[in-house]
Amino acid sequence: MSAHREFARQLTGVFGFPITPMKPDHSVDYDGLAKLVDWMTQYPFCAQVTVGGTGEIYSLTVEEAVEAVRVSVDATAKRMPVVAGVGYSAPLGVQMAKGMEKAGAAALLIMPPYYINAPADGLVRYYQEIAGSVGIPVSLYTRDWAAFSPEFAARLADGIPNLAFWKDGQGDTRKFQRLMNNVGDRLAWIGGIGDDCAGGYFGIGVQAYTSSISNVAPKLSLAIAEAGQKREMDKLAALLKKYVHPLYALRDKMRGYEVTVMKKMMELQGRPGGPSRAPLCEVKPEEMKEIQRLVELYQPWA
Protein backbone atom coordinates (compact mmCIF):
# COMPACT_ATOMS: atom_id res chain seq x y z
CA MET A 1 0.00 0.00 0.00
CA SER A 2 1.32 3.47 -0.87
CA ALA A 3 2.15 5.97 1.85
CA HIS A 4 -0.60 8.21 0.48
CA ARG A 5 -3.29 5.59 0.92
CA GLU A 6 -1.92 4.53 4.29
CA PHE A 7 -2.30 8.16 5.43
CA ALA A 8 -5.89 8.30 4.19
CA ARG A 9 -6.78 5.01 5.86
CA GLN A 10 -5.93 6.53 9.25
CA LEU A 11 -8.50 9.33 8.83
CA THR A 12 -11.44 7.89 10.76
CA GLY A 13 -14.29 9.53 12.65
CA VAL A 14 -14.84 13.22 11.91
CA PHE A 15 -13.24 15.83 9.68
CA GLY A 16 -13.63 19.27 11.24
CA PHE A 17 -14.76 21.80 8.64
CA PRO A 18 -13.96 25.35 9.83
CA ILE A 19 -15.64 28.31 8.22
CA THR A 20 -13.47 31.20 7.04
CA PRO A 21 -14.11 34.13 9.41
CA MET A 22 -14.32 37.56 7.83
CA LYS A 23 -14.14 41.12 9.08
CA PRO A 24 -16.99 43.62 8.60
CA ASP A 25 -15.31 44.88 5.41
CA HIS A 26 -15.35 41.30 4.03
CA SER A 27 -11.59 40.85 4.29
CA VAL A 28 -10.42 37.51 5.69
CA ASP A 29 -10.06 37.50 9.46
CA TYR A 30 -6.88 35.44 9.74
CA ASP A 31 -6.58 36.04 13.49
CA GLY A 32 -10.14 34.76 13.91
CA LEU A 33 -9.33 31.74 11.76
CA ALA A 34 -6.28 30.94 13.88
CA LYS A 35 -8.38 31.10 17.05
CA LEU A 36 -11.10 28.92 15.53
CA VAL A 37 -8.64 26.30 14.28
CA ASP A 38 -6.79 26.23 17.60
CA TRP A 39 -10.09 25.68 19.45
CA MET A 40 -11.24 22.95 17.07
CA THR A 41 -7.87 21.21 17.31
CA GLN A 42 -8.55 20.59 21.00
CA TYR A 43 -11.11 17.97 19.91
CA PRO A 44 -10.10 14.59 18.46
CA PHE A 45 -11.04 15.15 14.84
CA CYS A 46 -9.03 13.10 12.37
CA ALA A 47 -8.24 16.24 10.33
CA GLN A 48 -9.47 19.71 9.51
CA VAL A 49 -10.45 20.90 6.04
CA THR A 50 -9.44 24.51 5.39
CA VAL A 51 -11.15 26.52 2.63
CA GLY A 52 -13.58 23.80 1.64
CA GLY A 53 -17.12 24.61 0.61
CA THR A 54 -18.04 25.60 4.17
CA GLY A 55 -14.86 27.69 4.15
CA GLU A 56 -16.08 29.68 1.11
CA ILE A 57 -13.29 28.59 -1.23
CA TYR A 58 -15.33 29.93 -4.15
CA SER A 59 -15.08 33.51 -2.86
CA LEU A 60 -11.38 33.58 -2.01
CA THR A 61 -8.41 34.54 -4.16
CA VAL A 62 -5.60 32.03 -4.61
CA GLU A 63 -3.41 34.10 -2.30
CA GLU A 64 -6.10 34.30 0.39
CA ALA A 65 -6.75 30.57 0.25
CA VAL A 66 -3.05 29.71 0.51
CA GLU A 67 -2.62 32.11 3.43
CA ALA A 68 -5.63 30.57 5.17
CA VAL A 69 -3.94 27.18 4.92
CA ARG A 70 -0.67 28.56 6.29
CA VAL A 71 -2.51 30.14 9.22
CA SER A 72 -4.42 26.92 9.88
CA VAL A 73 -1.30 24.76 9.78
CA ASP A 74 0.46 27.10 12.22
CA ALA A 75 -2.57 27.12 14.52
CA THR A 76 -2.72 23.33 14.72
CA ALA A 77 0.95 23.23 15.77
CA LYS A 78 1.22 19.73 14.23
CA ARG A 79 -1.54 18.38 16.46
CA MET A 80 -3.81 17.58 13.52
CA PRO A 81 -3.40 17.32 9.73
CA VAL A 82 -4.86 20.09 7.56
CA VAL A 83 -6.57 19.14 4.30
CA ALA A 84 -6.77 22.07 1.87
CA GLY A 85 -9.45 22.74 -0.73
CA VAL A 86 -8.44 23.50 -4.34
CA GLY A 87 -10.36 23.88 -7.58
CA TYR A 88 -11.74 26.30 -10.20
CA SER A 89 -9.61 25.30 -13.22
CA ALA A 90 -6.51 23.20 -13.77
CA PRO A 91 -4.06 26.17 -13.83
CA LEU A 92 -5.59 27.82 -10.76
CA GLY A 93 -5.90 24.48 -9.01
CA VAL A 94 -2.23 23.74 -9.63
CA GLN A 95 -1.27 27.19 -8.35
CA MET A 96 -3.30 26.69 -5.20
CA ALA A 97 -2.08 23.12 -4.72
CA LYS A 98 1.60 24.04 -4.91
CA GLY A 99 1.14 26.99 -2.54
CA MET A 100 -0.85 24.94 -0.06
CA GLU A 101 1.66 22.07 -0.08
CA LYS A 102 4.42 24.59 0.64
CA ALA A 103 2.26 26.08 3.42
CA GLY A 104 2.13 22.69 5.14
CA ALA A 105 -1.11 21.06 3.98
CA ALA A 106 -1.09 17.31 4.61
CA ALA A 107 -3.50 16.56 1.75
CA LEU A 108 -5.71 18.26 -0.82
CA LEU A 109 -9.45 18.15 -1.46
CA ILE A 110 -10.02 18.74 -5.18
CA MET A 111 -13.33 20.36 -6.06
CA PRO A 112 -14.98 19.71 -9.45
CA PRO A 113 -13.87 22.07 -12.20
CA TYR A 114 -15.88 25.21 -12.88
CA TYR A 115 -16.74 24.05 -16.40
CA ILE A 116 -19.63 21.65 -15.95
CA ASN A 117 -19.80 20.13 -19.43
CA ALA A 118 -16.33 18.64 -19.53
CA PRO A 119 -15.92 15.26 -21.28
CA ALA A 120 -14.57 12.30 -19.34
CA ASP A 121 -11.06 12.54 -20.78
CA GLY A 122 -10.92 16.23 -19.89
CA LEU A 123 -12.00 15.52 -16.33
CA VAL A 124 -9.24 12.95 -15.97
CA ARG A 125 -6.71 15.51 -17.20
CA TYR A 126 -8.05 18.12 -14.75
CA TYR A 127 -7.62 15.84 -11.75
CA GLN A 128 -4.29 14.46 -12.97
CA GLU A 129 -2.78 17.91 -13.51
CA ILE A 130 -3.71 19.16 -10.05
CA ALA A 131 -2.84 15.94 -8.23
CA GLY A 132 0.37 15.52 -10.21
CA SER A 133 1.63 18.96 -9.22
CA VAL A 134 2.14 17.93 -5.57
CA GLY A 135 3.66 15.11 -3.58
CA ILE A 136 0.93 14.82 -0.97
CA PRO A 137 -2.27 12.71 -0.97
CA VAL A 138 -5.40 14.05 -2.64
CA SER A 139 -9.10 13.43 -2.41
CA LEU A 140 -11.84 14.10 -4.92
CA TYR A 141 -15.05 15.81 -3.83
CA THR A 142 -17.97 14.71 -5.99
CA ARG A 143 -20.35 17.57 -5.30
CA ASP A 144 -23.06 19.19 -7.41
CA TRP A 145 -22.93 18.07 -11.07
CA ALA A 146 -19.88 15.82 -10.54
CA ALA A 147 -21.68 12.51 -10.07
CA PHE A 148 -19.35 9.81 -11.36
CA SER A 149 -20.01 6.18 -12.24
CA PRO A 150 -18.26 3.28 -10.49
CA GLU A 151 -16.30 2.64 -13.68
CA PHE A 152 -15.09 6.23 -13.93
CA ALA A 153 -14.14 6.19 -10.24
CA ALA A 154 -11.99 3.11 -10.87
CA ARG A 155 -10.36 4.86 -13.83
CA LEU A 156 -9.44 7.80 -11.62
CA ALA A 157 -8.16 5.53 -8.83
CA ASP A 158 -5.92 3.72 -11.33
CA GLY A 159 -4.77 6.85 -13.15
CA ILE A 160 -3.88 9.14 -10.24
CA PRO A 161 -1.12 7.64 -8.05
CA ASN A 162 -1.67 9.97 -5.08
CA LEU A 163 -5.48 9.77 -5.12
CA ALA A 164 -6.00 8.32 -1.65
CA PHE A 165 -9.54 9.09 -0.53
CA TRP A 166 -12.92 10.03 -1.93
CA LYS A 167 -15.36 12.51 -0.40
CA ASP A 168 -18.95 12.01 -1.48
CA GLY A 169 -21.00 15.13 -2.05
CA GLN A 170 -24.08 13.56 -3.61
CA GLY A 171 -25.81 11.89 -0.65
CA ASP A 172 -27.12 9.04 -2.80
CA THR A 173 -26.03 6.13 -0.62
CA ARG A 174 -27.23 3.51 -3.11
CA LYS A 175 -24.96 4.82 -5.88
CA PHE A 176 -22.15 5.60 -3.45
CA GLN A 177 -22.17 2.04 -2.17
CA ARG A 178 -21.94 0.70 -5.71
CA LEU A 179 -18.96 2.96 -6.31
CA MET A 180 -17.31 1.81 -3.06
CA ASN A 181 -17.90 -1.84 -3.95
CA ASN A 182 -16.38 -1.39 -7.41
CA VAL A 183 -13.23 0.45 -6.33
CA GLY A 184 -12.80 -1.29 -2.99
CA ASP A 185 -9.92 -0.60 -0.64
CA ARG A 186 -7.90 1.23 -3.27
CA LEU A 187 -9.39 4.38 -1.72
CA ALA A 188 -10.61 5.50 1.70
CA TRP A 189 -14.28 6.54 1.71
CA ILE A 190 -15.59 9.73 3.33
CA GLY A 191 -19.20 10.90 3.69
CA GLY A 192 -19.29 14.55 2.81
CA ILE A 193 -22.65 16.10 2.02
CA GLY A 194 -23.84 16.87 5.56
CA ASP A 195 -24.26 15.79 9.16
CA ASP A 196 -27.86 14.85 8.40
CA CYS A 197 -26.64 12.04 6.11
CA ALA A 198 -24.42 10.43 8.76
CA GLY A 199 -26.85 7.55 9.33
CA GLY A 200 -26.79 6.49 5.70
CA TYR A 201 -23.05 6.99 5.34
CA PHE A 202 -22.06 4.91 8.34
CA GLY A 203 -24.66 2.35 7.38
CA ILE A 204 -22.81 1.60 4.14
CA GLY A 205 -19.39 1.59 5.76
CA VAL A 206 -17.63 4.95 5.38
CA GLN A 207 -14.69 5.47 7.72
CA ALA A 208 -15.37 9.14 8.45
CA TYR A 209 -17.63 12.06 7.64
CA THR A 210 -17.16 15.80 7.28
CA SER A 211 -19.06 17.95 9.76
CA SER A 212 -19.97 21.61 9.51
CA ILE A 213 -21.57 21.25 12.95
CA SER A 214 -18.00 20.87 14.23
CA ASN A 215 -17.87 24.70 14.14
CA VAL A 216 -20.54 25.03 16.81
CA ALA A 217 -20.84 21.68 18.59
CA PRO A 218 -17.71 19.54 18.17
CA LYS A 219 -18.79 17.08 20.86
CA LEU A 220 -22.00 16.44 18.93
CA SER A 221 -20.08 15.71 15.71
CA LEU A 222 -17.90 13.22 17.56
CA ALA A 223 -20.91 11.58 19.23
CA ILE A 224 -22.59 11.15 15.85
CA ALA A 225 -19.49 9.48 14.40
CA GLU A 226 -19.04 7.24 17.43
CA ALA A 227 -22.63 6.02 17.24
CA GLY A 228 -22.27 5.41 13.51
CA GLN A 229 -19.01 3.53 13.80
CA LYS A 230 -20.41 1.32 16.58
CA ARG A 231 -23.59 0.75 14.54
CA GLU A 232 -25.66 2.12 17.42
CA MET A 233 -28.29 3.21 14.95
CA ASP A 234 -31.03 4.00 17.47
CA LYS A 235 -28.68 6.35 19.31
CA LEU A 236 -27.56 7.92 16.04
CA ALA A 237 -31.14 8.42 14.88
CA ALA A 238 -32.02 10.11 18.19
CA LEU A 239 -29.08 12.52 17.87
CA LEU A 240 -30.02 13.41 14.32
CA LYS A 241 -33.68 13.89 15.18
CA LYS A 242 -33.12 16.15 18.18
CA TYR A 243 -30.13 18.20 17.06
CA VAL A 244 -29.32 17.86 13.37
CA HIS A 245 -32.60 17.83 11.47
CA PRO A 246 -33.89 21.08 13.04
CA LEU A 247 -30.69 22.86 12.00
CA TYR A 248 -30.78 21.47 8.49
CA ALA A 249 -34.44 22.40 8.12
CA LEU A 250 -33.40 26.01 8.75
CA ARG A 251 -30.41 25.75 6.44
CA ASP A 252 -32.67 24.50 3.65
CA LYS A 253 -34.64 27.76 3.63
CA MET A 254 -32.04 29.51 1.47
CA ARG A 255 -29.06 28.46 -0.57
CA GLY A 256 -25.89 29.44 1.23
CA TYR A 257 -27.41 29.12 4.68
CA GLU A 258 -25.12 26.14 5.23
CA VAL A 259 -22.44 28.81 5.70
CA THR A 260 -24.21 31.94 6.92
CA VAL A 261 -26.34 30.21 9.55
CA MET A 262 -23.25 28.52 10.95
CA LYS A 263 -21.43 31.84 11.11
CA LYS A 264 -24.33 33.48 12.93
CA MET A 265 -24.49 30.64 15.44
CA MET A 266 -20.77 30.99 16.05
CA GLU A 267 -21.09 34.71 16.68
CA LEU A 268 -23.82 34.06 19.25
CA GLN A 269 -21.42 31.62 20.92
CA GLY A 270 -18.74 34.31 21.06
CA ARG A 271 -16.60 32.83 18.28
CA PRO A 272 -15.35 34.50 15.07
CA GLY A 273 -17.75 34.34 12.17
CA GLY A 274 -18.46 37.56 10.36
CA PRO A 275 -20.22 38.19 7.05
CA SER A 276 -19.93 36.15 3.86
CA ARG A 277 -18.93 37.41 0.47
CA ALA A 278 -21.20 37.44 -2.57
CA PRO A 279 -22.91 35.44 -3.92
CA LEU A 280 -24.02 34.36 -0.43
CA CYS A 281 -26.68 36.37 1.39
CA GLU A 282 -26.80 37.12 5.09
CA VAL A 283 -29.32 35.51 7.41
CA LYS A 284 -32.75 37.14 7.34
CA PRO A 285 -33.70 38.93 10.59
CA GLU A 286 -36.78 36.75 11.02
CA GLU A 287 -34.52 33.67 11.27
CA MET A 288 -32.65 34.94 14.32
CA LYS A 289 -35.11 33.61 16.90
CA GLU A 290 -34.72 30.07 15.57
CA ILE A 291 -30.93 30.44 15.41
CA GLN A 292 -30.86 31.56 19.03
CA ARG A 293 -32.96 28.55 19.98
CA LEU A 294 -30.53 26.23 18.21
CA VAL A 295 -27.56 27.81 19.97
CA GLU A 296 -29.23 27.14 23.30
CA LEU A 297 -30.05 23.57 22.23
CA TYR A 298 -26.42 22.95 21.26
CA GLN A 299 -24.93 24.50 24.39
CA PRO A 300 -24.14 21.15 26.13
CA TRP A 301 -22.21 20.01 23.04
CA ALA A 302 -20.23 23.19 22.38
CATH code, domain with 75 = 3.20.20.70
Taking alpha carbons only, the member of 209, 210, 154 closest to residue 187 is 154
Q: 1 pLDDT band (50/70/90 cuts)?
A: low
Count of domains for the chain:
1
**Any catalytic annotation for residue 257?**
no
Q: Is residue 246, in this structure, part of any structural domain at all?
A: no
pLDDT attached to residue 58: 93
Range of the domain at 201: 3-230
Q: Is residue 284, in this structure, part of any structural domain at all?
A: no
The CA distances from residue 155 to 1, 124, 151, in Å, are 18, 8, 6
pLDDT in tens, 244-267: 999 999 999 999 999 999 999 999
Q: Is residue 250, in this structure, part of any structural domain at all?
A: no
pLDDT attached to residue 129: 98
Task: Indicate which residue of 30, 88, 127, 167 is catalytic.
Answer: 167
Q: Is residue 21, in this structure, part of any structural domain at all?
A: yes
Q: Is residue 17, in this structure, part of any structural domain at all?
A: yes
pLDDT in tens, 102-129: 999 999 999 999 998 899 999 999 999 9
Q: What is the pTM of this model?
A: 0.96
pLDDT attached to residue 177: 97
CA 196/CA 244 separation, integer angstroms: 6
Query: What is the Cα 27 distance to its own chain's centre?
Result: 22
pLDDT in tens, 47-101: 999 999 999 999 999 999 999 999 999 999 999 999 999 999 999 999 999 999 9
Average pLDDT score over residue span 186-205: 96
Q: Is residue 270, in this structure, part of any structural domain at all?
A: no
Quick one: what percent of the chain has pLDDT higher than 70? 100
* DSSP run (H or E) holding 203: helix 198-204
**Any catalytic annotation for residue 141?**
yes
Q: Is residue 269, in this structure, part of any structural domain at all?
A: no
Q: Is residue 255, in this structure, part of any structural domain at all?
A: no
